[in-house]
Structure 1
Amino acid sequence: MTVNKENPARPLDQGRLDDLLGRYVNDLGATISAGNVILGDKLGLYRALAEAGPFTSAELATYTGTAERYVREWLAGQAASVYISYDPATGRYSMTAEQALAFADPAGLDLSGGFELAAACLADGAMIEDAFRTGRGVAWGTHHPGVFTGCERFFRPGYVANLVSSWIPAVDGLGERLAAGVTVADVGCGLGTTTRLLAESHPASTVTGFDPHQGSVELARAAARAHPAGLCTFAAARAQDFPGTGYGLVTTFDSLHDMGDPLAAARHIRGALAGDGVWLIVEPFAGTSVAENLTPVGRSYYSFSTFLCVPHAISEGAADALGNQAGEAPIAALAAEAGFRRFGEVAQTPFNRVYAARP
């Protein structure tokens, strides 16, 4: 033990202090590394390494039309992060297949998107500080634009990997009904990744994405025009009052916890569904208590929730926002109070839990 000069009654455990300092160094490096990841993504440095490397710093700078001295520093930092690989014998940098999948392939894991989202959250620090002091909310649409695009990139790989292949088949009869053709409302659709996936994989169904943020709706429409493989449309509407009835499927992907009145949303969804319809609820992975969520995933989600989810729900009038680590119990209670007779978890990943509710 080491004496705590500020408070001798509380001796310091040097091992615990060293562990804390180690975590601090890792976190500090990760925080500033975010900006470097974003630069590598925007400047095409990762893609160049994956497609044409190995490169020295001079070779990569020439290939990408960037300045060598900046590239040299960037490469060393990325190698220290183990996001790229370095060969000391040749002085060249490269990417393994795994590193390329993570950072150089837009259709891969696209981990740069998570850093884009985190950096955009930090750019909004003044607004969140004011919210802490005043209790006021911060509406989604007032955030840095990188929040919208970064959020879509952060969640897209999980949706692409799981929605069609495992989540829909996990709900009894849902895949067959979508193949035969039903109307679908994708509520809180953001930039429309899930809307397009549903439409492209089930062309007999008609899919509409609804989101209260007009800017996201416009971005979703633009993306749909670029990928016109399925029948889908987009409109600005809230979960509490999106139009239409008789839906065979209503979906909420990582959005229920953001709502100011999730019970009103659940009741409206119940009324909008056909008698044999399904509400597919995808939420961030969470346990039943804070103690169960003290994990690396929980840490990331609580941090994002502080900047995004809770402030937006409060901006819509929430008295006690759910937050993205609410867990199953409050969602099940909402479904029951809204009139759903059947509710249960049907699938999960390390990042999401998937529930189905039926009238």
Structure 2
Amino acid sequence: MASQTVSQITPQKEIEKSKVDAFLEKAVSDFGAAVSAALVVVGDKLGLYKAMAGAAPMNSAELAARTGTHERYIREWLINQAAGGYIEYDPASGKYTMTDEHAAALADDQSPFFVGGGFQVITAMIKADERITKAFRTGQGMFWGEHHQDLFEGTERFFRPGYAAHLVSDWIPALDGVKPRLEAGALVADIGCGYGASTIIMAKAFPKSRFYGFDNHAPSIVHARSEAFHSGVASSAFFDIAGATNFPNAGGYDFIAFFDCLHDLGDPVGSLKRARETLNNDGVVMVVEPMAAETVEGNLNPIGRVYSGASVLCCTPNAIASGQTALGTLAREKDLRQVARQAGFSRFRKACETPMNRVFEVRP
């Protein structure tokens, strides 16, 4: 196919120009979205959104002065952001403003609506495009830790708002009998904990329980330990470098969680087998996975587009690099259930869901 000419590839028949024009309009829109993703990351890292949040209208010189940046770059950045509808422009004054609603999504990383981490993840994954292109031909994988460092921080910033909004208030209460056990004092393992956001959120909410976060990415564990200290939970939240198939048994866990990571693992059955081995007989495993449908057509929507892209650039390559099974980011519920059964669990149910996640309860 690569050696064919355009005339050989294009069917020799008339095409409807209106349909071509409609597609080209969509493609140009995607051009703008793709290039603007990088500029959102720039604005996030430089504090441009924070400077505009709640502020009076300002021009490029005023924003540059407030943020210690060069006006010429800021001038172009503001045009891009206004063209994308992220900020507003007033032609009469020549100044820009940010609405409170957009500020909640772009300027406040503690907001449940914050999306900056998502852009950080996407731009980090795109940096691996040459490696992934080669992998399409060789079938080789790419480990999580081989990506740009923004992926690790961005992933935590992408998922943390949802965890903070739903984990303690919605997800854990949806699991039969888990919340009372955590309140009384339970032993908990968080597998694939990354920067430790999920572990720390639980440790803050349930001070009588002890939490162990495990991840095979050493820099993430270093960061998680630091976050636990600064969050005041270092005496109840502990972090160690360990893989999902061989994490330590701290004495029989009452609750084991996999947050948005089971689909990344090359041996999901082996990982859940290890969970079964280290879980008390009356314990519970919670598997949180990205939102996905059971059919291809059910995933043909904006969320499916995002998650399938992440699957190609990051999740599936890591699974291929580390094992024989690649569930993919859009793992179907029936496939997850089959993995749990193969690992020795007998009960599997969807406990609840959000627009971005599904939460499953797994029991022996």
Q: TM-score, normalised by structure 1?
A: 0.95
Stretch deviating more after TM superposition (7-16 or 123-132):
7-16
Decide which of 206, 210, 228 is 1:206's aligned counterpart: 210
Q: Which residue in 1 is equivalent to 2:270?
A: 264
Q: Which residue in 2 is equivalent to 1:179?
A: 183
Asked if structure 1 preserves the Cα contact closer than 8 Å seen for 2:189 and 2:253, the reply is yes
Which residues of 2 match residues 256-295 of structure 1 at below 5 A? Answer: 256-295=262-301
Asked if structure 1 preserves the Cα contact closer than 8 Å seen for 2:54 and 2:100, the reply is no
Matched, 1:246 2:252: yes
Asked if structure 2 preserves the Cα contact closer than 8 Å seen for 1:102 and 1:110, the reply is yes
Structure 1 residue 168: Cα displacement:
0.5
Matched, 1:80 2:86: no
Distance 2:16 2:181 in 1: 61
Q: Which residue in 1 is equivalent to 2:361?
A: 356
Q: Which runs of 5+ in 1 are unaligned?
A: none
Structure 1 residue 195: Cα displacement:
0.5
Asked if structure 2 preserves the Cα contact closer than 8 Å seen for 1:285 and 1:327, the reply is no
Matched, 1:297 2:300: no
Structure 1 residue 246: Cα displacement:
1.5
**Structure 1 pair 137/5, CA: closer, same or farther in 2 (3 Å)?**
closer
Stretch deviating more after TM superposition (292-301 or 128-137):
128-137
Stretch deviating more after TM superposition (8-17 or 217-226):
8-17
What amino acid sits opposite 2:91 in the alignment? P
Q: Which residue in 1 is equivalent to 2:74?
A: 71
Matched, 1:61 2:100: no
Matched, 1:121 2:125: yes
Matched, 1:145 2:158: no
Distance 2:89 2:266 in 1: 48
Distance 1:144 1:89 in 2: 43
Distance 1:324 1:11 in 2: 39
Q: Which residue in 2 is equivalent to 1:312?
A: 318
Which residues of 2 match residues 6-85 of structure 1 at below 5 A? Answer: 7=10, 9-85=12-88
After the TM superposition, list the runs of 4 or more consecutive aligned residues in structure 1 that deviate by more than 2 angstroms. Answer: 4-11, 13-16
What amino acid sits opposite 1:355 in the alignment? F
Asked if structure 1 preserves the Cα contact closer than 8 Å seen for 2:199 and 2:211, the reply is yes
Stretch deviating more after TM superposition (107-116 or 176-185):
107-116
**Structure 1 pair 209/85, CA: closer, same or farther in 2 (3 Å)?**
same
Distance 1:176 1:85 in 2: 48
Asked if structure 2 preserves the Cα contact closer than 8 Å seen for 1:53 and 1:95, the reply is no
Stretch deviating more after TM superposition (325-334 or 126-135):
126-135
Which residues of 2 match residues 74-113 of structure 1 at below 5 A? Answer: 74-108=77-111, 109-113=113-117
Stretch deviating more after TM superposition (132-141 or 187-196):
132-141
Distance 1:9 1:227 in 2: 65
Structure 1 residue 5: Cα displacement:
7.5
Structure 1 residue 9: Cα displacement:
4.8
| Paired residue secondary structure (2:304) | helix
Structure 1 residue 299: Cα displacement:
0.6
For the aligned residues, what is the CA RMSD? 1.5
Distance 1:212 1:331 in 2: 22
Deviations 1:296-330 (A, max 9, x none): 10011010110111110011122x41101011001
Q: Which runs of 5+ in 2 are unaligned?
A: 1-5
Distance 2:92 2:204 in 1: 48
Distance 1:15 1:21 in 2: 10
Which residues of 2 match residues 200-239 of structure 1 at below 5 A? Answer: 200-229=204-233, 231-239=236-244
What amino acid sits opposite 1:78 in the alignment? Q
Asked if structure 1 preserves the Cα contact closer than 8 Å seen for 2:255 and 2:284, the reply is yes
Structure 1 residue 15: Cα displacement:
3.4
Deviations 1:161-201 (A, max 9, x none): 11011000111211111000100000011111000011010
Q: TM-score, normalised by structure 2?
A: 0.94
| Paired residue secondary structure (1:52) | coil
Distance 1:227 1:358 in 2: 31
Distance 2:276 2:14 in 1: 57
| Paired residue secondary structure (1:168) | helix
Asked if structure 2 preserves the Cα contact closer than 8 Å seen for 1:164 and 1:198, the reply is yes
Structure 1 residue 56: Cα displacement:
1.3
Distance 1:192 1:143 in 2: 19
Q: Which residue in 1 is equivalent to 2:3?
A: none
